[in-house]
Amino acid sequence: MLVVSARSKNDYKSYVKYVRYTDRKKSRFASPAVTLGLIAACTAAVIAAFFVMGGNIFLYVVLATDILCALAFLFVRFIAPRIEYKKLGPQFSALQTFDFYDHILELIISGEKDTLSRIPYAKIVRIIDTPDAFYIYVTNDKALILNKTSLTKHETEKLLALFKEKGIKVTN
């Protein structure tokens, strides 16, 4: 019996959130705000030292290193995700139809040739429930993204009840 059916399309914003949620375990203590704060503090300390100590060669090396760290941060935070998103190709942003049945999840990815995947609930590792989407992890680092824009509040509640019934770990 069909419990919920939803159609969803991924975009760059959903990809960035997917990467953030997937890598959260790996980088629990590496907040971008903390990293940016450390870079800013180092820069301020080096500039202050310039005024106190004058043009010391060591300070030039530290400042150059600090600038390289800032550029690396900007690349990793903003440029690299865009490059990776473009590598995904049209398959990632294709229209997806999620059909949640009592016993299985069916996913149809539309394209030149439609692709049907049947995923038993026992194969789902975990689900992350965010205000914008459900991230349905089929492995520890691969998830299906179901944007909630295609769901009503009642359908979202039905899905959460289905996940709970199937014993799937749902986190926020």
Intervals of the chain under pLDDT 50: none
pLDDT value of position 101: 95
Q: Is residue 26 part of a domain?
A: no
Domain identity same for 121 and 79: no
pLDDT value of position 113: 87
Q: Looking at the structure, do residues 98 and 167 belong to the same domain, yes or no? A: yes
DSSP single-letter state for residue 102: S
Structural domain span for residue 164: 2-11+90-171
Q: Are 85 and 12 in contact (CB under 8 A)?
A: yes
> What 8-state DSSP symbol labels residue 91?
T
Task: Provide the domain count of the chain.
Answer: 2
pLDDT at site 26:
53
Q: Which residues pair with 109 in a beta bridge?
A: 96, 115
